[in-house]
Chains A and B, each alone.
Chain A
Amino acid sequence: MYYFAFSFFLFGAVFSLLLIPKGDDRLRNVVAHVPALFGGVSLVIGSILQFFSHAPVTLELGSLFSFIDLGLRIDTLGAFFLFIIGIIGSIASIYGIGYVRHYYGKYNIGIFGLAYNTFLAAMALVASANNAYFFLIAWELMSLASYALIVFEYKKEENIRAGLSYFIIMHLSAAAIFGAMLLLTKNAGSPSFDIFRTSAEHISSGLSMAIFVLAVLGFGTKAGLMPFHAWLPDAHPAAPAHVSALMSGVMIKTPILLLLRVVFEFLPAVSLWWGLLFLFVGSLGALLAILAASLQVNIKRLLAYSSIENIGLIFTAFGVVIIFHFYGVTSLALLGLTAMLFHVLNHALFKSLLFLSVGSVALETGTANMEEHGGLIKRMPQTAIAFLFAALAISALPPLNGFMSEWLLLQSMFGGVLAQDLLVKSLFILAIVFVVLASGGTLLAFSKAFGVSFLARPRTKESESAHEVTMGMRMSYLFIGIFILLLGIGAHFVVPVIQVVSESVGRGAFMNPTTLVPRPDGSISLAPVLVPSLPMLSFAVMFILTFLILFLSVRMFTRGRKVTLVETWDCGYPLSAKGEITGTAFSRSLAMIFKRIAPVKKNVVTNEVLQGNPYFITKNASVDVSDHAVTYLYQPVTRATIFLGSQAKKVQNGVVNAYVLYILLALITLVIIYL
C-alpha cells in the first residue's frame, strides 16, 4: 500500500513538472491535487492495515551512489505518523482543488503541484527512512519543497522575506541534525537505523549528551519549540492555506517522531535533566507562545503562535515521559507518551481545520488581518462553524478531542508532583501552573479570533461582500470535523489504540507497565495506573440530552412570547463598525497585566496643528507587537555573524603580497606542528 502512496506522489510531481512550461490551469490543478489525495488515502489505508498486522514493514527502493541505501522501515510509530500525514494530506488536497483556483492566470500551478507532491512524499519519507543519509536527503527535500511553497506567491514581498528566514533557519537546524546523525553513524559504523538501534549501548555518556543537544537544537527548531520558533509565525501565513495546514498540522510534528527515535532508540539511556529541560522549556514556551498568540491581529499569525504553544505542550509531555522513564515508573511514562502522541494527532486535526477555514476567510476578504473582518458568521456560516468547532477543540473543551489529550497530560503530570526529589516536584508544579494558565490563554486567543473575525458587524466592504466558499472546500471541513468529534467522544476506544503505539516506542521501554491499578469507574488514582480514560461518549450523550430537554421545555413554556429585532444599543451613539471592540483592544488588558514580558510597544506620534501651539494637536497611535526570541536571540546572533564577517573581510584584502604572507605563515605553522 505504501508503494502506491509513493507512486501517486511521484506521479503528481512528475506530471506537474511536465505541465510547468505549457498547460491548462485547470488540468494543472487536478494533477497537483488528485494524485496527492489518492496518495494520502493510500497512506491511511496502509497504516491502518499495518496496525492490524503489527509487524514493521520494510521496503527497498534501491540505492543511490552505491553507498546510500534507500531503505524504508515503517514500524508502528512510523505508521502512526504516516496515518497523520495521509489523513491531513488527503483532506488538504480536497480543499486545495477549490483554493488554488484563485491562482489561475497569476501563478504557475505546475510549480505548485511539483512542490506540493514532493513535500508530501518527503514528509512520508522522513517518517519512514531507515538510513541516516537517506533520512537527511528526505529532510532536506522536505525543507526545500516547503520553502518553494512558502514563496509560491512570490509577487508579495513579505513572502520572499519569510521564505528567506525560513530557508536560513532550516539550514541552521539541518546543520545540527547532520551533526547528530554523523556522530551516531560514526559510533555505529554504519548509517543504518537498524545498526543505530543495536549499537546504542556503546555510546559514551559525553557523546550521548552531545547528540542529544544537537538533536534538540535541530529538531526543536523545525518543530518550532520556543525560543527557536522565529521562522514559524512568518512562514505559516505566507504559504497557501492548505499548505499552512500541512506545515502546522504535520510537518512540525515530524521532528517529534525523530526526537522520540533519537532519545529512546538511538541513545543508550535517558538523563533526568533532559526530561526536566523539556518539562520546563515546553511548558513555559507554551505559556509565552499563547500570550504572544493572544496579542496578534493577523489571524494566521495567531494560529502559528498557537502551534508553537501546542508544540510546547507536546514537549512538556515528552519531558514527563523522559522523567518517568528515568525513574522506572513505566506506567506513568506510558501515560505521558500516550498523551503526547494523542496530542500530536489531535493538534494535526484541529490546527489544519483552523488553517483551512481561515484560508477561506482570507480568500474571501483578501486579508488575514482580523481588524478588517467581522460579521462573517452571517456571510460564511459553514466556515464559521468549522472555525468555531476547531476553536472549541483546540481550547480543550469537552467532549472534543483536545480535552482528552490535555486530560491525559495533566493526569500524568499530577503523578510527578509526588516525586521525592524537591527539584523535580517543584518543576512539575511549575509546569502544571504554566499548562493551566496556557489553557486559559488559549480560550482568550480563540475567543478573540472567533469573536473579532466572525461575530458582530463587518468592518470593511470586502468583509461585507464575502461569500461562502466552494462545496469541495466545505466538504474538507466536514471530514476533519468528523474526525475531531470521533476522537473526542470515542476516546474510550481511541486511547487504548494509541497506547499500543506508545508501547511500541523505544526498544520495549514502555512494555509491561509495572503496577496496574485500573479502577472500575475509569477514574485514576495517583498510584500509577494503566492508561485511564474518561467515558466521554456518555458525557457527550448526557450533555446533548440535557441541552435538548432544556431547550424544548423552555420553548414549550414560553411559546407565546414575541421576539423583536432591533439595533444594538450603543449608549445612544449611531451604530457603526467602529463601535465594536478591535482585536488589539481585546487583548489590551492582557498586555497591560503582562507589560513586563509582553512584547508590545505603543507608539504615539503627536503633531501640532498650528506650529508652536501645544494645545491643538493630532495624535497617531500604533501598536507594535514583536517577538522576544527575535529581538533577544536571533537579531543579536545575526548582528554577531555580520560583525564577524566584516572582520574576516579585513583578512581578505585583495593584496597579493598579503596572500603570499598567509601562505608562508601557514607553511611555517604546518612545519612546526609536524616537527
Chain B
Amino acid sequence: MILFFPVILGVMQMLFVIAFSPLLIGFIRKSKARLQGRVGASVLQPYRDLVKLFHKDEVIARDASWVFRVAPFILFTITLILASAIPILFAFPGNPASDFILIVYLLGFSAFVLALAGLDVGSAFGGFGSSREMTLNVFTEGVVVFSLLPLIFIAETTNFAMMPAALNIAPTIYIIPLVLAFLGFLIALVTENARIPVDNPSTHLELTMIHEAMILEYSGKRLALIEWAAANKLLIFIILGANLFFPFGLAMALSVRALLMAFGVLLLKVMAFALVIAITESTMAKFRIFRVPDFLFAGLILGIIALFIITIL
C-alpha cells in the first residue's frame, strides 16, 4: 500500500490539474474582460469550448505525418507528468519525475514536439512559428533554470517534494534575492505559456505570433488536447510559483481538513497570480519579436544575481 502511495497521489494531482485548468483560463479571460470594461463570457466557457472541440470531426493536412498526429498526445502527457511532479496541496516524495532538472528538460521536450508538429504540415505559418518557438526556447530554458536555482540552493535539494518544507523555514535574509528570482520566474512563466508581452494567445492572424502559428492546422480533438495542455501548463507554472516562492499553506498531513485548508490557500494564491496576468495583459502591448530576447536576458540576469547573493550569504 505504501508503495502505491505516490502513484495514487500523483494520479490525483493529474486529475486536479486537468479539472481546474480550464477554469483558470476562464477566470483570466473574465478578469481581462472586466478590466477592459466588457462583460465577458462565463468562466465556464473554456469547458464548453473543449466539449465542442471533442465533438467535432477533424481536418488534417495531407502532408502531415504521424508526428503531427501524435504530438498533441505527447504534449498532454508531458503536462500530466508535470502535474504529478510538483507539490500542489501536499508534498510527497517518491515520484520519479519530481526532479528540477528533469522538469526543465520535459519543458524542452514539449517545445521540441510542438515545433516538429508545426513544421510537419509544411505551411509557411507553422514553420515560422516553430523557428521562433525554438529560438526563444534557447533563452527560456535558461530563465526557468536560473529563476528556480536560487530556491534549489536554499532548499539544498533538486527534488520538488522536499522543497516547500525546506523553503518554508528559510531565513528572512533571503527575501531580496527571492524577489529577484521571482521576477525572473514571472518572465519564464509568461514566455513558456505564450502570454503577452511575449506572445498573444488570442490572435490568429498576426505575423508575430508563435504558439498559435504552430497549431494553426489542428482541429477537433487534437486541437482540444493542445488547448487543454496549454491550460494545464499555465496552471502548473502558477502552482509551482505559488508553492515555491510562497511556500506556506501546504497540507502537512493527509487529512480532509488539512487538504481543504490547503485548497483554500492555493485558490487564493492562484487567483492572485491570475489577476496579475490579467492586469499585465490589459495594460501592456506585445513586444516586437526581437525585443523578446532582451526581456528574457533580463530574467536570466535577475536569476543569476539572486543565485550569487544566496550562495554568498
Contact = CB atoms under 8 A, between A and B. Distances in A.
Nearest to A409: B101
Interface in B253-288: none
B131 A437 contact: no
A525 B156 contact: yes
Contacts of B104: 436
B108 A439 contact: yes
Nearest to A586: B131
B120 A456 contact: yes
Contacts of A432: 145, 149
Contact of A456 (B121, B220, B307): B121
Most-contacted residue by chain A among B58, B80, B127, B312 (CB, 10 A): B127
Contact of A570 (B81, B93, B123, B142): B123
Interface in B120-151: 120-128, 130-132, 134-135, 137-142, 145-146, 149
A561 B53 CA distance: 11
A550 B99 contact: no
A345 B78 CA distance: 28
A439 B141 contact: yes
A351 B127 CA distance: 26
A590 interface: yes
A455 B120 contact: yes
Interface string A421-448: 0000110010011001101110110111
Given A433-B146, A534-B102, A542-B96, A448 B158 contact: no
Interface stretch (A134-142, A551-559, A609-617): A551-559
A50 B146 CA distance: 43
B166 to A, nearest CB: 10
A550 B311 CA distance: 42
B190 interface: no
B101 A407 contact: yes
Contact of B81 (A374, A448, A546): A546
B63 A375 contact: yes
A329 interface: no
Contacts of A588: 131
Interface stretch (B31-39, B110-118, B181-189, B239-247): B110-118
Q: Give the dominant DSSP class at A's interface.
A: helix
A437 B138 contact: yes
A417 B311 contact: yes
Interface stretch (B21-29, B69-77, B167-175): B69-77
A411 B139 contact: no
Interface in A508-553: 521, 523-527, 534-536, 538-539, 542-543, 546-547, 550-551
Contacts of A579: 122-124
Contacts of B161: 521
Interface stretch (A75-83, A105-113, A353-361, A394-402): A394-402
A304 interface: no
Nearest to A555: B221
A542 B81 contact: yes
Contacts of B59: 563-566
A562 interface: yes
Given A398-B109, A554-B221, A568 B128 contact: no
Most-contacted residue by chain B among A396, A534, A542 (CB, 10 A): A542
A550 B131 CA distance: 29
Interface in B67-91: 67, 73-74, 76-77, 80-81, 84
Interface string A589-615: 110110000000000000000000000
Contact of A563 (B60, B63, B141): B60
Interface in A22-57: none
B137 A444 contact: yes
A582 to B, nearest CB: 8
A99 interface: no
Interface residues of B, number: 85
Contacts of A534: 96, 99, 102
A440 B140 contact: yes
Contacts of A418: 153, 311
Most-contacted residue by chain A among B119, B120, B304 (CB, 10 A): B119
Contact of A586 (B76, B101, B127): B127
Contact of B157 (A451, A525, A567, A585): A525
Given A444-B135, A457-B63, A579-B122, A592 B81 contact: no
Contacts of B62: 565-568
B157 A457 contact: no
A207 B134 CA distance: 47
A561 B221 contact: yes
A429 B304 contact: yes
A414 B156 CA distance: 10
Contacts of A542: 10, 81, 84, 96-97
A450 interface: yes
Interface residues of A, number: 83
B43 interface: no
Contact of A433 (B67, B142, B220): B142
Contacts of A411: 101, 158
Given A525-B156, A526-B153, A443 B61 contact: no
B134 A448 contact: yes
Contacts of A426: 308
Given A397-B105, A440-B139, A433 B300 contact: yes
A403 B109 CA distance: 11
Contacts of A125: none
Contacts of B109: 392, 397-398
A217 B225 CA distance: 53
Given A447-B115, A542-B97, A570-B124, A398 B138 contact: no
Most-contacted residue by chain B among A417, A425, A432, A440 (CB, 10 A): A440
Nearest to B145: A436
Contacts of B80: 546, 550
Nearest to B140: A440
Nearest to B114: A447
B203 interface: no
Contacts of B293: 593
B65 A377 contact: yes
A350 B148 CA distance: 30
A197 interface: no
Interface in B41-57: 54-57
A153 to B, nearest CB: 31
A72 B307 CA distance: 49
B76 A564 contact: no
B159 interface: yes
Interface string A571-583: 1000101011100
B135 A589 contact: yes
A539 B293 CA distance: 33
A580 to B, nearest CB: 5
A587 interface: yes
B65 A564 contact: no
B135 A590 contact: yes
A587 B133 CA distance: 11
B101 A538 contact: no
Given A456-B121, A538-B96, A589-B289, A554 B73 contact: yes
Contacts of B61: 565-569
A551 B221 CA distance: 11
Contact of A581 (B127, B139, B141, B216): B127
Interface in B224-248: 225
A550 B76 contact: yes
Nearest to A402: B105
A215 B80 CA distance: 49
7 smallest CB-CB distances across A and B, nearest first, come from A581-B127, A456-B122, A451-B119, A440-B138, A523-B159, A568-B61, A539-B96
26 contacts: A375-B122, A397-B106, A398-B109, A403-B105, A414-B152, A433-B304, A441-B138, A443-B134, A443-B138, A443-B141, A446-B112, A447-B112, A448-B134, A451-B127, A523-B157, A526-B157, A536-B96, A546-B81, A550-B77, A554-B73, A558-B220, A565-B59, A580-B122, A586-B130, A589-B290, A593-B290
Given A429-B307, A451-B130, 5 more contacts: A375-B63, A447-B134, A521-B94, A538-B96, A565-B61
